[in-house]
Chain A
Amino acid sequence: MKLYYFSEMPHHEYPDAEGDKYPSLRLAFPNTFFSPEIAQRNYQRYLDEYDAADQAGFDGLMINEHHSTPSCVNVSANMTAGILARTTRKAKLLILGNILPIQDNPVQMAEQVAMADLISGGRVLSGFVRGVGVESWWANTNPIHNRERFEECHDLIIKCWTTPGPFRWEGKHYHFRHVNPWCLPLQKPHPPIWVPGTASPETAVWAGRMGYTYVPFLVSFEVARELFDFYRQGAAEAGRTVTEDKLGFLICAVTADTKARALEAGRHFVWRMGPTLRGPAEYFSPVGMRSREASRFALKARSISLSKMSYEELVESYYIVAGTPDEVVERFARVRRELGIGHLLLEAQESRMDHTTTMRSIDLMGKSVIPAMARI
């Protein structure tokens, strides 16, 4: 099973009591609490940690993007991919992902991903996401059009990568008269496409139909299995066989020399599960963003909100894995047995988890966990 290192590049350097005063840390928490001085240091630190993860032997480095939130100040997945394309050597660069519905220029998106693929020597895995509702607010894109724009933006990007220009695109949401990008990916026909999921059966079915790698984020095993069933349904419709290489899963994970230290470090992930997901439903799922079916599924999938779970419960339920390398190997192996996946994505860092702890975890993963998992 392949392992991926993921840093959400948080900015948790503010008093928690201040954040508690607002309806949500997303959209509403004022950016007067953003410190450019701290962010400058953090970016250097986070990029160093990515480099270390590459050297430690992680199969991939996952990069994401969010906006208007201290939980993730990586505001451009492609910019980070461009940096890591130069500073890393072996690991795949898993952009998971570009938020397609809020893009106004899919052609530029196709160019940027292609450029990262070229600079990295063909190491990009190109993830496409619909984004949480916060991103629709940030971009002021009508959430009613979220799915339509996701699919049309995707179609245009793929066409940019696979159809010689110049050509014209007159869609419902995107209109380009002269499409002829002079930057095309190294990988042919194009970088592999990945798609994450948390609650939308339609996305799982669509990813299955398209044959893309599908990765549920921070859900229970039971919900992940249901989403994989939807994925298989889509794959079957398209006559595709589903191999474990098409299925992944994301959890939070940290290892340390002792169990006590690992558990202490893992506690930092509780912020990511709770306070950063707190807020009105309208912020995370504005009107029209979810279909009725997805809303029903979300209610079931999140019958217990992550923010309501204790640290112990999160560890017990595998949302967080924290232990010695041997314990972590054992738990990762269980995840693999439960879900039959080929890729495990590890959110492995939080800004209050200090650099030394993060680096030690990366180091131990490289020395003990990655080799063990490669054999499983």
Chain B
Amino acid sequence: MTPREETIAVGPTRVEVLIGGAGDPLLVLHGAGGNRGWLRWMDAVAERHTIYAPTHPGFGRSDAADWMEGIDDLARFYLWFLDVMGLPRVHLLGHSIGGWTAAEMATMRPDVLDRLVLVAPTGLKPESGEILDIFYYPPEELFPLTVFDAATIPERERLFGRRPTPEEAEIALRNREMTARLTWKPYMFNPRLPHFLPRVTAPTLVLWGREDRIVPVICGEQYRRLLPNATLRVLDRCGHMPPVEQPDRFAELVLDFLRGGPA
């Protein structure tokens, strides 16, 4: 299906939003790599849900937000976004730093949340191991670490199959800069988040790739333990990008869970 693109002003900050599908609203928050557009998994999920996939401030073609200092600012921003969109209650799905943002939103306003899907979220300090320092690596070295096997990505050609245009390269740099702004120190986690997660009673699905070399799977265990109503699903032969590495399996798991299946 073809989503529509809208520019939404949240206060003075305008963000680009992809909207598509029909049904209960699902807000989708992207990771550090930016909004990759309408993805294959979204086609399947949009049959039952209206997907709202905004591009974070400072990313892509959304307005800058140089005043932001952390992911908690982004979380407050998206709670405001829901007000602007007239969405009093949503399902919320976030990937990587988008997952961290979703977790922060859930701790701030549990009442706006129907069901929560956290996909390899950052946000917690791993009990063992480290979150990979993505700023320490050239982007071309980072990509192979991000996925289990690039050759098996169904949308590989469309997403990663050619050299970026100058405009795409500029956007990639902008995405990286805004990620640095939001996550530099403490690197990729909020030491206060674990103290607030028990507030989130919404059914939560925590999804992880077993071969994630960016955020250790143990963080998934930590989220599961701290969230009162959460289940952890770990996908085999999958790295840090379940939504593009295994889009069909991912869509199926998300649909089942949002349909009211057990967390």
Contacts and interface: CB of A to CB of B under 8 A. Distances in A.
A and B together in one complex:
yes
Interface of A: 137, 140, 142-144, 280-283, 286-288
Nearest to B186: A140
A287 B177 contact: yes
B135 A282 contact: yes
Contacts of A280: 136-138
Nearest to A143: B180
A282 B177 contact: no
Interface residues of B, number: 11
Chain B CB within 10 A, most for which of A137, A143, A280, A282: A282
A143 B137 CA distance: 15
Given A286-B135, A287-B177, 16 more contacts: A140-B184, A140-B185, A142-B181, A143-B184, A144-B180, A144-B181, A280-B138, A281-B138, A282-B135, A282-B136, A282-B137, A287-B173, A287-B176, A287-B180, A288-B176, A288-B177
Contact of A288 (B136, B137, B138, B180): B180
Given A287-B176, A287-B177, A288-B177, A142 B138 contact: no
A143 B177 CA distance: 9
Contacts of B137: 280, 282
Contacts of B173: 287
Interface in B169-185: 173, 176-177, 180-181, 184-185
Interface string B177-203: 100110011000000000000000000
A305 to B, nearest CB: 16
A288 B181 contact: yes
User: Secondary structure at chain B's binding surface: helix, strand, loop or mixed?
Assistant: helix
Contacts of B177: 144, 287-288
A287 B135 contact: yes
25 contacts: A140-B184, A142-B180, A142-B181, A142-B184, A142-B185, A143-B180, A143-B184, A144-B177, A144-B180, A144-B181, A144-B184, A280-B136, A280-B138, A282-B135, A282-B136, A282-B137, A282-B138, A286-B135, A286-B180, A287-B135, A287-B173, A287-B177, A287-B180, A288-B176, A288-B177
B132 to A, nearest CB: 13
A280 B181 CA distance: 21
Interface string B120-142: 00000000000000011110000
Interface string B69-94: 00000000000000000000000000
A1 B176 CA distance: 45
Contacts of A137: 136
B72 to A, nearest CB: 16
Nearest to A148: B66
A140 B136 CA distance: 12
Contacts of B176: 287-288
Contacts of B180: 142-144, 286-288
Nearest to B176: A287
A143 B136 CA distance: 12
A316 to B, nearest CB: 32
A283 B184 CA distance: 15
Contacts of B135: 282, 286-287
Nearest to B183: A142
**Which A-B residue pairs are the 8 nearest by beta carbons?**
A142-B184, A288-B177, A144-B181, A287-B176, A287-B180, A144-B180, A288-B180, A287-B135
Contacts of A287: 135, 173, 176-177, 180
Nearest to A286: B135
A283 B135 CA distance: 9
Contacts of B185: 140, 142
Interface string B133-156: 001111000000000000000000
A140 B181 CA distance: 13
Contacts of B181: 142, 144, 288
A104 to B, nearest CB: 12
Contacts of B184: 140, 142-144
A281 B136 CA distance: 9
Nearest to A281: B138
